[in-house]
Amino acid sequence: MVFAYLSILGLTVVLAAAAHRDVTIRHRTVMQQAWKQLAPLLMRLPVALIAASFIGELIPQALFGRWLGDASGIVGILIASVLGGILPGGPIVTFPLILVVEKAGVGTPQLIALLTGWSCFALHRVLSYELPTLGWPFVWRRWVVSLILAPLAGLLTLWLH
């Protein structure tokens, strides 16, 4: 976590130094735009973390451990891939849920398949954005070529684990 923070901080310093050389860029405007993006996140993240903690207490941990634990193997990877595709919400909701299911005993290959399924398939995003804007011919082709990605990510992790 510290490495990610320091990487983003370093990138910000480099970009600020580069922007300082351009006289058309106003640092005050940049900071105002950054605050507009950050403010909603600061309000949503604590609520999402608390909600995920409640969900963590409500889910039957033995069930997740059995279906998606390390011992579930390839079947668990396939289940996690499908669950990831139907998991609703953006990263503010999904990542706290991923932390919850990790604490419930879900294996690393299954977690990677779950997160990859959420990234690649995201049924909520397809229904809200892709289908209305790009149409069914595009969506089904994208899904067909993406179908293997989540299980493959889980299997590669199983192999490396």
d(CA 55, CA 99): 11
d(CA 142, CA 137): 9
One-letter amino acid of 15: L
Q: pLDDT digit string (tens) for 100-109?
A: 888 888 899 9
Q: What is the pLDDT of residue 80?
A: 93
Segment 88-102 mean pLDDT:
82
Q: What is the pTM of this model?
A: 0.72
Q: pLDDT digit string (tens) for 110-139?
A: 999 999 999 998 888 888 889 999 999 999
Considering only CA atoms, which of 42, 40, 18 is closest in space to residue 30?
Answer: 18
